[in-house]
Amino acid sequence: MRSKYLSTYNATMYVFKHRKTQAEFMAFVPKDEKQDKVFGISFRTKPTSNNGVAHILEHSVLAGSKKYPAKDPFVILLKGSLHTFLNAMTYNDRTVYPVASRNKKDFFNLMSVYLDAVFAPKCVTKEGEWILRQEGWRYDVNDADELEIKGVVYSEMKGVFSNPISLMSRNVDKFLFPDNTYFFDSGGEPDAIPNLTQLEFVDFYNRHYHPTNSQSFVSGTVEDVIQAMELIDDYMKEYDYNPQLKESSEIRFQKKKYAHHLYQSLPYPVQKLDETQGQHMLTITWLLNDSHLHQMKMLAWYALDYLLVGTSSSPLMKRLFESGLGSSVIGNGLSGGLMQNTFAIGMKGILASNISQVEDLILQILRDIKRDGFSDDEITAALNSLEFQLREVQSGSNPAGIDVFLNALTTWNYDRLPEDAIVFDEALDLLLTTVQEQGSNFFTRMIQSDLLNNNHRVHMELHPSETIAAETIEKEKNKVKLFQNSLSQDGYNKIKDTSQELKDIQNKDDPVEVIESIPSLELSDIDRFNVEYDIDITENIFGTSTILTKNVVSGSSGIVYIDVGIDISSLGFNNVEVLPFLVAMMTENDTVRRTRSDINNFIGINTGGIDIDLKLIALQDTEQADHIATANKKMRSFLFFRGKCTAQNVGKTLELIRDLAEGSLPVTQEKAIQILEAKIASFESSVTSNGHSYSVMRMHARYNPMSLIDERLRGITQLQSLKKMLDRAQNSWDTFETRIKHVIESFSHMSSAETILNLTGDSDTLEGIQTFVETFITSLNNGSNRPPLPNFFKSDHPWIIKASQVMGKYAPVRNEGISISSRVSYVGKGGRIFDEGEIISGGLCAPLQFLRKGFLWDTVRAKNGAYGVMSSLDSTDGFLYMVSYRDPQLIKTIEAYTEAEQYIKNQIELKSITKNAIKAAIIGCIADIDGSTLPPRDIGWLSFLRYVSGSTKRRRQRWRDGVLAADVSNFETFKNKLGRWNRNSTVAVVAPLAAIEEASVGQNGLSFEIVEL
């Protein structure tokens, strides 16, 4: 069809059509042949109900196919391929199957399995009817002979709808899109999922999974593209062109039709009502377009989004935040990626009496902005930020080709050109020219037409209820009980037999020949050596005490990545808990030289952004060739300022970083209270959605002083500390302000010896910024009035000493139940499996991989219905954890963790741990080690962290060698370690209080210390 060189990506794009089916295919050929090879196929999927069929189908097609009839080829690939991306995603109107690998053989193996999965899945055959019951929903019979509903997607969506923000946004769509497919939740509503039948399931597949209704993508070399096209054609040539099918899947526009906005109010669960605390939420969401947006208008909306809510000093964000009417600003601002875009803004933590005031304030602020406009600096900052974002091709963690594919689909899915979503040069030039001619009026007219004059909007309130969670659970139980009571004995027995049939399938191993039919690598296909990156280290640079590190990379597009770290070990341990508040404050405060508005404009005009972050870095003994289990008492603590800019702005960026570090001023009492309320609200939401992370942090803190500090900074203890700080800010401001000033003093000296500078960019760019770097470093405080830093490789960090004392106070450690308002749980168990001084071998990675992608996945996810389960071993202290995600179970999951030891023992005795099983586990471990091709910034940051931590190439290679040499003896060792783990580990669950209490009774009940948030 056509081709085009894309200078931004340094790649050539080709778009073809499959002759027989008219399926479209995009090839992306980057000049850098080291980039990950990427394949993706997408189907336009148009829900017509809330039963989640598109989402369940996404899970199900990967559970076996005609050519690869194993129960779960997806998991087999997870176990034993070198994938750098392996996933499937359900959007509102499309379902996407992308994979990536750096290894060519592995890439085509993955591609072959995925193509067979989408075009010949077992789940739509009579033989595969069990798959819907596993992945979607089913009636199961519990130990009391009572029916209950299980299913992976069912559990996942119960977790999604337990999050108030998700609940709000998903219900907004119902009223914003009454007439098109966005009215329906493609993920599925928990109450509606059990309405899905096998007949509807198969029908949806037949109407959507057809080449004519697909878009395919490959990124790689020309040779890769040709081979991929041949493989795709092998499947598509069996089909004919079906224009009716594509027409029926077309997404129709929702027309703006409301003469007056809609107001809706829904309950959401809280653990306890408190009328003195704002617990209401409100957002206003506008439908922005009811026809396709021109590229320039879309870019204009990105710029306007930045102007309105992109920084803490953006007028809509700032005035809402400072209003005191709520605890924090919510709403995503601009939401794109679909055919129709929305803009949402609101607040949470609102008193019931203030709801109407928040509504009125949002609209009044927009009217004021329309009247007053934006300054030239604000507009320049917005446009520069947009241009920088478009220039920085790979800024996230995904392989570059994955992002190209997913972005292309935002137009391609609607029968528009895929390049319109990835190439913006002409549209950006047009926007810049238009804004130059019209100035602020260009944006204020958009506010008037798209927001103020637009009545097609939804005002959605969530009001708190301390009974709705229990009522929802009880409603589900009663519904199931009513159904069970309506059954005849034959009907009940049929369900029981079907339930047992699924368990039999799940418990039965695939035949060896079926597993081996899935293409795999040999160990000889794997590189024996790690991917390593060079770093240039100069101590005492320019005659100072500062360390300068440089990372020369390719593909940075002339961008320089700057990391300035300041040692903060001099801060007293009792004030460590204040650091997260301080980091948040430093995105809101003024400095001695600049107001916050000036700072944000300066950042937008001259940089691609500056982030501030805390970092604890565990130090390793550089003399040791192996990983040795330690109590993690050697560490560094830094406050990092991480920026990015073009070469000519390096001097300005370093100057601003210094101003932020040396000149930060405390915020006012009112602002401090607002920041604390916002952080508390964010934490509470995060615990409900990401309880597995908090479970792991809580457990690890019991066994390791550095992990205890980390949990105090990022975990449940930090949330508790924030609430205490809020009380002090409200009632003892002078004392709290003095504390803030003291914490600022721990880094504001910015002495030469306590500052480290890390730079990443291409060689010419780094060479050209030498003068800026020298000026910055030589101007730092020489630190003559400060005590010298200890050698932290030899001396315990002062925080570690205090943390060890704290740990002693809480011995013996106890199981904890952290109660949340949710319909699902996050269940963790963890403990150390190595004594201090023991060698932790890379060979143990293989049995752990075998366990987590085998027994744990099959038991906790497939059989018991959790959405996910994870396990990891910390190679510094020997801490092992297992944790579930969005889990309908609690005790059964803990029992599964306990049974892992016996499972490994049985596998050894049955000689089921074959050479092929070990090979697959080894390959999976190597995939985790190597990862994808890193973007420039990540290369520089990884190299820097390796240097600071004392991680040596020799030790990394020793670990890899251990992985590659794994054999059955490592499984024996791991089994024995699990025995110790079962005796000494403890539990942390983040779960509804009722679930925790239920798990505390009965013969297998556990004793929990309840932690209420």
Express each pLDDT in 204-214 by its tens digit: 999 999 999 99
Q: Which pLDDT score is estimated for 533?
A: 95
Q: Which pLDDT score is estimated for 296?
A: 97
Q: Which pLDDT score is estimated for 811?
A: 67
Q: Which pLDDT score is estimated for 611?
A: 97
Q: Which pLDDT score is estimated for 595?
A: 96
Q: Which pLDDT score is estimated for 225?
A: 97
- DSSP per position, 637-685: EEEEEEEEEEGGGHHHHHHHHHHHHHHB-PPPHHHHHHHHHHHHHHHHH
pLDDT (tens digit per residue) in 475-502: 999 999 999 999 999 999 999 999 999 9
CA atoms within 13 A on the CB side of 236: 25
- DSSP per position, 305-335: HHHHHSSTTSHHHHHHHHTSSSSEEEEEEEE
- DSSP per position, 350-393: E-GGGHHHHHHHHHHHHHHHHHH---HHHHHHHHHHHHHHHH--
How many whole angstroms separate alpha carbon 694 and alpha carbon 71? 32
Q: Which pLDDT score is estimated for 1003?
A: 65
- Residue 84, phi then psi, degrees to nearest 5: -105, -10
How many whole angstroms separate alpha carbon 301 and alpha carbon 295? 10
Q: Which pLDDT score is estimated for 783?
A: 73
Q: Which pLDDT score is estimated for 949?
A: 96
- Residue 217, phi then psi, degrees to nearest 5: -145, 140
How many whole angstroms separate alpha carbon 799 and alpha carbon 637? 9
Inter-residue contact 926 to 85 (CB < 8 Å): no
pLDDT (tens digit per residue) in 380-415: 999 999 999 998 877 778 999 999 999 999 999 999
Q: Which pLDDT score is estimated for 812?
A: 73
How many whole angstroms separate alpha carbon 559 and alpha carbon 937? 9
CA atoms within 13 A on the CB side of 129: 10
Q: Which pLDDT score is estimated for 261?
A: 97
Inter-residue contact 549 to 756 (CB < 8 Å): yes
**C-alpha 993: how far from its chain's center?**
27
Amino acid at 606: N
How many whole angstroms separate alpha carbon 560 and alpha carbon 576? 31
Going from the C-alpha of 802 to that of each of 633, 697, 831, the distances in angstroms are 11, 18, 21
Inter-residue contact 593 to 655 (CB < 8 Å): no
- Name the nearest CA neighbour of 201 among 413, 98, 63, 55: 55
Structure tokens belonging to residue 344: 């949402």
Q: Which pLDDT score is estimated for 120?
A: 98
- Name the nearest CA neighbour of 309 among 331, 288, 286: 331
- Ranges under pLDDT 50 in the chain: none
- Residue 41, phi then psi, degrees to nearest 5: -135, 140
Q: Which pLDDT score is estimated for 332?
A: 81
